[in-house]
Structure 1
Amino acid sequence: MIKNIWKEFRKNRAFRLGVILLLFFISMAVLAPVIAPYDPEALLGMPNQRPSAAHWLGTNDIGQDIFSELVYGSRISLKVGIVAALAVTTLGSTIGMVAGYYKGVVDKVFTVLTNVAMTIPSLPLTILLVGFLKTGMLGMVVAICITAWAGTARVVRAKVLQIRELPYIQIEKLMGVSDFKVLFKHIVPNIADIVMTRCALSVGGAMMTETSLSFLGLGSFTQKSWGNILHFAFYRNGVINNMWWWYLPPILCISGCMLGFVLVTHYGRSRSQLIKG
């Protein structure tokens, strides 16, 4: 798999760009204390300053350094995106795998649940759940997980239905090999590429949801995130006063990060091959 990824990185410009973008934003998040020149919460003086040598992206309406906010904001945005994506992928993959492997009544029950989940508009339901849970970032992750698992479950189920009918799996089942062994020896390796692809897509989707919720004021006001920065830029007249250095950088960061995940997911897919034995 590593060889396939390296080969894809060398020959595919779009995939290479996606990897570079993601490495850039991940490095920004990890090295935030080193990169940011100021404490993002510090009140540094004159508010609404334009970009300068002292403040590369100016200051907001209370004198905080916007560049430092942006750098530290990458931590929360990526953290919510990655944690929520892992939760969504784990839940969706487990449901899809169980439904596809056991079929029958189990499959019918999970199929109905999946169809119902996919018919409910996710953003309004997420807003309601976040408002009800009121537990900050944890509540946001839980809400995203509850509303976003169905797509992954459907894709994984379809793949498992195909894999379980392969002759060598049917032979092992006839020989009395346990379902647990079949699932983890044959099914899981064969759906690994799809699961990783869905996880990467889910990170981008979760980040977009976090941005939307924070922009609406449902995020945590004690922690900086890109959506949080946009919220204050909009509600404190940064957009009306054309303070582009306040609202444009987080928009570019969100767009760049989303583009990175899309490019890696779309162009970096390794051709899935059924693993036998």
Structure 2
Amino acid sequence: MTSVPDVEGALDARTLVHRTRSFRSVSALLAIAFLVVLGLVSLLAPLLPLDPTTTDLAARWQPPSAEHWFGTDELGRDYFSRVVYGGRISLTVGILAMAAATAIGVVVGLVAGYAGGRLDDLLMRFVDFLSSIPWMVLVIVVSVFLKPGLWTIILVIGAFSWMATARLVRAETLSLRERPYVGYARYIGVRRVLVVGRHVLPDAAPTIIVAATASISNAILTESALSFLGLGIQPPMASWGSLLETAQDSLQAAPYLALIPGILILLTVLSFNVLGDALRQSVSEGGA
């Protein structure tokens, strides 16, 4: 006769198999490998022999070669160094803006979903109001009144990209608050903050993780668009978006100046989206 612990162990193993199977696809493995390499290069950039600021007018617009892997730009700067340090900025913006947006969205979603009633209606109408405004218009208007820079762009993106996360967390909270153990905790008089922190938030964590993954790619795209319009990262700093902006005047002489950061933005956003899909599939299969 099979014991209860054996059955629980088999169920846990089955759940683990389902959750890891989503990451075995070629696309998921390639996405994870690309993001790991990109993250390591960005973190180790200060330790590498890279100089993104030294100019050499005699060597400008050189094509990719053994000496300059990505060629040189209009001022003769090594473009590989510029792209690596630009990637550091783009990833920093993506991760920090995601953290800010996720924090705001989680708090609003938990409060709205658990409290319900008028407070839920008020918060959701506010979310609907912000969502009805085109995000690019909203971010551009706010950016005009703030001094352009790294922290400004992080603040602006984080402050106006949390609405989707709030909706997801609210929907998950509405479901979780009807669970028997949550109802029992309320019945015995456990404070709301403790109920949410101990029961609702941990069970909503998979949904939050999936939403956070999507937020990173959205933040990178937003930063690239703003920097391309001249409202984002300002010189001497460079991001992939600002590199695209400066490459406009040299498309005929050096098309690689636009192609390289453009391809990296595409691959990075695609990798985060693939990772998010794998996480979403893992969560659904694990809960099935």
TM-score by length of 2: 0.88
Change (3 A) 1:199 1:106: same
The answer as to whether partners of 1:93 and 1:156 remain within 8 angstroms in 2 is yes
Partner of 2:279: 268
Change (3 A) 1:69 1:5: farther
1:39 paired to 2:51: yes
Counterparts of 2:40 and 2:22 in 1: how far apart (Å)? 19
Partner of 1:62: 75
Counterparts of 1:71 and 1:141 in 2: how far apart (Å)? 19
Change (3 A) 1:11 1:199: same
Residue identity opposite 1:225 in structure 2: S
Q: Across the two proteins, how many residue pairs are aligned to each other?
A: 270
Partner of 2:29: 16
The answer as to whether partners of 2:23 and 2:278 remain within 8 angstroms in 1 is no
Segments of 5+ residues of structure 1 without an aligned counterpart are none
The answer as to whether partners of 1:14 and 1:267 remain within 8 angstroms in 2 is no
Larger Rg: 2
Residue identity opposite 2:198 in structure 1: K
Report the 3-state secondary structure (helix = DSSP H, G, I; strand = E; otherwise coil) of the residue aligned with 2:283.
coil
Partner of 1:106: 119
* TM-superposition CA deviations, 1:212-255 (whole Å, max 9, x none): 01111112222121111111001xx222x151221111011111
1:52 CA displacement? 1.9
1:182 paired to 2:195: yes
Residue identity opposite 1:222 in structure 2: P
Following superposition of structure 1 onto structure 2, how do residues 215-254 of structure 1 map, counting pairs within 5 Å? 215-219=228-232, 220-234=234-248, 237-239=249-251, 241-254=252-265
1:137 paired to 2:150: yes
Residue identity opposite 2:66 in structure 1: A
* TM-superposition CA deviations, 1:71-97 (whole Å, max 9, x none): 111100000000000000000110000
The answer as to whether partners of 1:28 and 1:74 remain within 8 angstroms in 2 is no
Counterparts of 2:50 and 2:23 in 1: how far apart (Å)? 38
The answer as to whether partners of 1:215 and 1:227 remain within 8 angstroms in 2 is yes
1:7 CA displacement? 2.4
* TM-superposition CA deviations, 1:27-82 (whole Å, max 9, x none): 121122344x5410110342111222221211111111111101111100000000
Segments of 5+ residues of structure 2 without an aligned counterpart are 1-11
Q: Percent identity?
A: 34
Partner of 1:214: 227
Q: CA RMSD in A?
A: 2.0
The answer as to whether partners of 2:100 and 2:159 remain within 8 angstroms in 1 is no
Counterparts of 1:210 and 1:10 in 2: how far apart (Å)? 28
Report the 3-state secondary structure (helix = DSSP H, G, I; strand = E; otherwise coil) of the residue aligned with 1:271.
helix
The answer as to whether partners of 2:113 and 2:170 remain within 8 angstroms in 1 is yes
